[in-house]
Structure 1
Amino acid sequence: MSTPRAYWTGHIRLSLVSFPVRLFAATSPARTIQLHQYDKNTGQRIRYQKVSEKDEDPVESDDIVKGYEYEKGRYVAIEDEEIDKLKAESNHVIELTQFTDAADIDPIYYDRPYYIAPDEDGVQDAYVTIREALRKAKKVALGRIVIANKERIAAIKPCGDGLMLETLRYAQEVRDAKKFFDEVKDDAEIDDEQLELAQLLIEKKSKPFDPKAFHDTYQQGLMEIIKAKMAGKEPQAEEAPDDDGGNVIDIMDALRKSLEQSGGGSDSKAGKSGSRRSTKASGTKASSSKSSSSAKSAKSSAGSSKSASKSASKSSSSSGGSKSTAKAGAKKSGGRSKSSKAA
C-alpha cells in the first residue's frame, strides 16, 4: 500500500524547540455516484468553459490572473508570488503560541482534521515529548498555519500514538446563534413528568457511537435505480413515510408511544411516570363520581330496605303469623342497609 501524499510539510515550533512534520488529510470525501449532464439528442457531455464577460469567447488559462476589483471593471492584479511572500514564515512553520482546555473550544469552530507525522526519524523524541505533555496537561496547543494560501488557526492535540491538527474557523466566520433562537424562551416551563419521559427515551436509545452503523441510504437507493434501469426494469421506489411534521401532537402521548416502540413497556418507569399525570388530572373528578355513585347506591338500598320491612310486617299481620317474621324481615333489611352503607 503506497504512502499517501503529504498535504503540508513544515515545522512545529514551541519556543526554542522545533521539529519537522508532515500533515496528511485525516478524512477523504465520501465516494458518491457522479451524475453528468449530457445532450439527450446526441449523448455528448456538456462542458463548461471560462469565457470573457463581454463577448463570451473562451479565455486561455495563461491569460487568466487574479485581482481585486476596487471599481466596476477596474482591478489591481495580485501575483501568486506576492501572496506567498505575505505569510512566508507561517507557510512552513506552526508556532505554538497558546494552550487551552479542549472544552473551551466550541465544536462549531472546528473545520478540518489532519494527522501530524514526524518528518524525520531523529525527531521522534521531540514529537513524543510534545504529545505526552499535551496529554498529561489535558490541553490543546494553538497556533497558525497557512494551507492553500489561506491562514487558519491550528489546534493540535494527542491522537492515539500521534498528534492531530484541526483547523479552526475565525470568529467572523461563525454566525451569531442568538438571532436564530429568538423565539425560544429561556424561562420556558417544562412539565417534570414530560421531561422524565424524554430522559427515559434518551437513556433507552443510548449506546456507544459506531460510525459503521450509519449508511448513506440515498447513495444506496440511487445505485439500485441505476442497476434497475441498466437491466431494463422499472425501479421500485419505496414509499416515503407520512410527514406529520405540520400536525400538533400531544407530546406526552408521543413520548409514551415512542418508549413503547423502543421496548420501554407499560410496566416500566416511563409507563408509571406517564400515568401519574393522567391520574392526578382525573383524580378529583373520579373521586367525586365514585362518591356520588356510592351515595345513590346507599339511598336506593335504604329505600329498598324500608319497603321490605313494611311488606314483611303487613304480610305477618294479614296471615296471623308471629311477630318474628316481621322482626326477621326488619333484621334482614337492616343487614342490607348496613351493607349498602359500607359499600
Structure 2
Amino acid sequence: MARAIWSGALAFGLVNVPVGMYSATEDRTIHFRQFEKGTSSRIRYRRINEDTGKEVDYSDIVKGYELGTGDYVILEPEELDEIAPGKSRTIDITDFVDAAQIDPIYYRKTYYLAPQSKGDDRAYNLLAQAMERSGRIAIANFVMRSKQYLAAIRSEDGMLVLETMYFADEVRNAQDEIARMPSEKDKPAKRDLDMAVTLIDSLTTDWDPANYQDTYREKVLDLVEAKRSGEDIVTPEEGEGEEDKVVDLMDALRRSVEASRQHRAGNREQAGGLQRTAPDHDADELSAKSKKELTDLARDLDVSGRSSMSKDELVAAIEGARGTRRKKAS
C-alpha cells in the first residue's frame, strides 16, 4: 500500500479537508549502472575540487548563482534557509477556472488526494461532488519539501486529483525560442486540407491507455533476458518504406487514407522486437516469454479467462488457440 508523501488540509473557503497526497504515476524508465568496458568494475562519481583534484565532503559544499558573466554569487545554506518557504500543512485554493482554459503545457506531475480518516469523508465528498457538478478546476498553492508549488485540482470519479503546474515564467514562448516559425502565407490547398481531415477522421478512436506501451523498454528487457539466457541476437534490418518513394503531398495523403482502413488503435501492433534464435517448438518459444507477454498474446488471440490463468495455463491456451487458427487457415 502506498504511503502519503505529504499530508495536511485542503482549504476551501472556511472549510478545511484533511488530505494525504499520493503519487499517481511512476517512472518505469529502465536505468543502468555504468561499468568500465571489459571489466566488472563500477564507475562512480565523486565531488572533486577542479583546482586541487581532491574530493570534497558534502558538508563543505555551498551553492553559487551564476551571473551570466562567468562570475558567481556564493550563497551559504543558512542564508537560503532564512528565505525558504516555511513548512505548510495547507493547500490553499485561491480560484476556480474552466478546465478548457488551462493549456496542458502547464501541467507537471499528478497526485491523488485522499481523505486522511473516515471522519473526513463528508467534507471531502462535498468538495469533490461540487467541483464535478460545476465542471471547474481549483487553482491552489502549497509548499512541499521547502519548495512552493502552483497546482490544479480536479474531481474525477469522486476522487480529487492534484497536478503540480509550471509558473508562467517557466513556460517558454515558442516565438521567442524558435528561429523559424511556420509561415501563414503558405496555406494548404482545399483538397489537401479535406484529405488530411479525412485521414484524421479515419484514425480517430476512443482513448484507451492500454493500447500504448513503451516499445523501447520492452526491447531492452527482451535483450537483457536473451543475453542472460545466452541466446544469439539478430537485429532486423529496416527496409526501404513506401513513404520514401512518395513525393506528391496529395498522393501521400491518399495512400495514408487507404492504409488507415487497416488501422488499429495504439502502437502495440507496431512494437516489433528482436529476433531471437529460439527453439522451433511453440511451447519452448512461449515458455521463454514473461507472463505479461503471454497475457498480451492471449488477448490478441481472444483467449477467454486469460487474466486468471497461471503462466503454464497461458502457454497451453495459446498453443490451442494457434492450432485452431492453423486448422481454419488450411
When normalised by structure 1's length, the TM-score is 0.68
Flag the structure with larger Rg. 1
Aligned ranges 1:177-326 → 2 under 5 Å? 177-179=174-176, 180=178, 182-242=180-240, 249-263=247-261
2:175 aligned with 1:158, yes or no? no
How many residue pairs match? The answer is 259
Give 1:7 deviation, angstroms: 1.5
Letter in 1 for 2:81: E
**Are the aligned partners of 1:110 and 1:168 in contact in 2 as well (CA < 8 Å)?**
yes
Give 1:63 deviation, angstroms: 3.2
Give SS of 1:38's match.
coil
Q: Flag the 1:257–1:81 CA change in 2: closer, same or farther, 3 A.
A: closer
Residue deviations 1:108-147 (CA, integer Å, cap 9, x gap): 0111111001112222111111111111111111111223
Give 1:48 deviation, angstroms: 0.9
Match of 2:54 in 1: 57
* Percent identical residues: 33
**Are the aligned partners of 2:99 and 2:137 in contact in 1 as well (CA < 8 Å)?**
yes
Runs of 4 or more above 6 Å deviation = 243-248
Give 1:187 deviation, angstroms: 4.5
* Alignment equivalent of 1:37, drawn from 26, 34, 37: 34
Q: Flag the 1:132–1:124 CA change in 2: closer, same or farther, 3 A.
A: same
Q: Is there any run of 5+ residues in structure 2 with no aligned partner, and where? A: 263-330
Letter in 1 for 2:21: L
Distance, in Å, in 1 between the alignment partners of 2:190 and 2:108 is 38
Give SS of 1:21's match.
strand
Distance, in Å, in 2 between the alignment partners of 1:238 and 1:39 is 29
Give 1:246 deviation, angstroms: 8.3
Match of 1:78 in 2: 77
Give 1:226 deviation, angstroms: 2.9
Give 1:68 deviation, angstroms: 4.9
Aligned ranges 1:3-22 → 2 under 5 Å? 3-22=1-20
Give 1:81 deviation, angstroms: 8.2
Residue deviations 1:1-42 (CA, integer Å, cap 9, x gap): xx212111111112211121111011000152x332212344
* Alignment equivalent of 1:115, drawn from 87, 109, 112: 112
Distance, in Å, in 2 between the alignment partners of 1:211 and 1:95 is 32
When normalised by structure 2's length, the TM-score is 0.70
Letter in 2 for 1:20: P
2:31 aligned with 1:25, yes or no? no
Q: Flag the 1:92–1:80 CA change in 2: closer, same or farther, 3 A.
A: farther
Match of 1:273 in 2: none
Q: Flag the 1:244–1:78 CA change in 2: closer, same or farther, 3 A.
A: farther
Letter in 2 for 1:223: L
